[in-house]
Amino acid sequence: MNTEKFISENFPQDKAQQFADILKDSISDYIGKKDNCTVEEWLNSYLMECLPDKSPEEISTISNEIISTIQIHDKTMDSMHNAMNSGKSVEAWFQEEISSQQSVGQQAYELTEAHSALTSVSNQYVDSDEQQEIVDVEVIDSEEWNDEMWNKYKMKDLVTETVRQAGDTALRTTASDLYEKTMEYGLKTVLTDKALISESIINGASSGLKIATAGAMEIANGNNVFPVDGSDTESRALIAGVAIENVKTLGRVASGEIGIADGLKEMQNISVATVAAIIKSKAINIGSKIGKKIGTTIGAVFGPIGAAVGHFAGGVVGKMAGTKVGSKIIETAKRVGSAAKSVVSRVANGARNVFNKVKSFFRGW
C-alpha cells in the first residue's frame, strides 16, 4: 500500500481538518453537558442540531443504533475481560460468547464468514506474494452447514483460527505505516495545546466518549466529510469504540502500567472482542444475503479506510487531553507499531499454513 497516496486520496487536508473539528466539537459539547442530561438525550439533541436535514425519526434511529452498538461492544469487552481474569482462554470465551441459541452449523457459517472477511482485510496490508487464500462461503454447498458436519473438534479448530485471524489482522493494521501516520495526522489537526478533556475521561468509563466520537463520525458522514467506504452507522460506531479502546491501551503503555508486548496483545484482544460483538449482533439466515453482513461490517471496521479513520480519531482524542498526553500517546503508538512489525514478520508464513486447515474442513476444496 502506498500510504502517502492513500492518505491524500481519502484524507485530504481540508477534509481531515473538517473531521477533526467536528470530532473536537462533539466531544467538547458532550463533556460540557454530560452532568445535566443522559448520554441518550445529549446525542439525540446534538444530532438534531448538527444534521438539520434529517427528520426526528431518522435522528432517533441513528441515535438508537449508535448507543445500542456501543453498549453491545462495551458488554462484549467486559465479558472478555472478566473471562480472562477468571483464567479462561480468549478462544474458550469467544466460542461461548457467540454460541447462545445458535445451531452448530450456523456458528460454523458465521465463523467462516468472519474468518474470510478478516483474511481479506489482512491481505490489503501485505504484498501479493504474502496474501492468504480466502474461502468463499457463497460457493460452499449448503449441506456443509448441517449440524452433523461439525463436531466439537472441528468447531474448536475453526474458533481458534478465527480468533487467530482477528488478532493477526490487528497486528497487520498496527504494523502498517498507515497506523502511525494517521494517528499523528489526527494529533496535528487539533490546533491548541490546551487540555480539552481529562485523562480520567479517556481511561475511566468511556462509553460516553465513544458515543460522542461515533456521533461525530455520523455528522461527518452526513456532511460528506467522511471517506466513501460503504460503512453504515453500526460500522462507524464500532470504529469509534475500537479507536477509544486502543487509545486507552496506548495510555496504559505510555504510563508504564503495562509493557509494549502486553499492550499489543490487548489491542489484538480488542479486535477479537469486536468480531464477537459483530457476530452477536447479526441474526443470520444461513446462505442468505443477511449472512454477508458479518463480512461487510468486518471489512468496514478493520479495512484500511475504517482503520485509518479510527487511528485518526485516536490522535485527535489524544491531543484533546493536552499536548503532553497526546505526544506520549503518539510516541507510544510508534513503539507499539514497531513491535507489531517484528511480530508480523514472524507469523506470516504460519498464517498461510494454518489457513489450509480451514480449507480442509470443506469437501471439494
Start-to-end CA distance of the chain, whole Å, equals 30
pLDDT at res. 351: 53
Higher pLDDT, 346 or 83: 83
pLDDT at res. 288: 43
Cell readout for 227 is 471517506
Quote the Cα angle for 326-126-130, to 5°. Answer: 145
| pLDDT, averaged across the chain | 88
Buried b (16+ CB within 10 A) or exposed e, 193-220: eeebbeeebbeeebbbbbbbbbbbbbbb
133 and 351 Cβ atoms separated by less than 8 Å: no
pLDDT at res. 356: 58
pLDDT at res. 362: 76
- Residue 60 pLDDT level (bands cut at 50, 70, 90): very high
Cell readout for 232 is 453504515
pLDDT reading at 364 higher than 80: no
195 and 320 Cβ atoms separated by less than 8 Å: yes
pLDDT at res. 360: 74
CA 315/CA 250 separation, integer angstroms: 11
The structural domains of the chain, with segments of one domain joined by +, span 3-359
pLDDT at res. 132: 84
CA 170/CA 69 separation, integer angstroms: 20
pLDDT at res. 285: 40
- Residue 354 pLDDT level (bands cut at 50, 70, 90): low
CA 7/CA 3 separation, integer angstroms: 6
Q: Tens digits of per-residue pLDDT, 246-301?
A: 999 999 999 999 999 999 999 999 999 999 999 988 744 444 444 448 989 999 99
Higher pLDDT, 1 or 10: 10
pLDDT at res. 284: 40
pLDDT at res. 83: 96
CA 199/CA 251 separation, integer angstroms: 9
Q: Tens digits of per-residue pLDDT, 61-114?
A: 999 999 999 999 999 999 999 999 999 999 999 999 988 667 888 889 889 999
Cell readout for 257 is 502500567
Q: Tens digits of per-residue pLDDT, 148-202?
A: 989 888 999 999 999 999 999 999 999 999 999 999 999 999 988 888 887 777 7
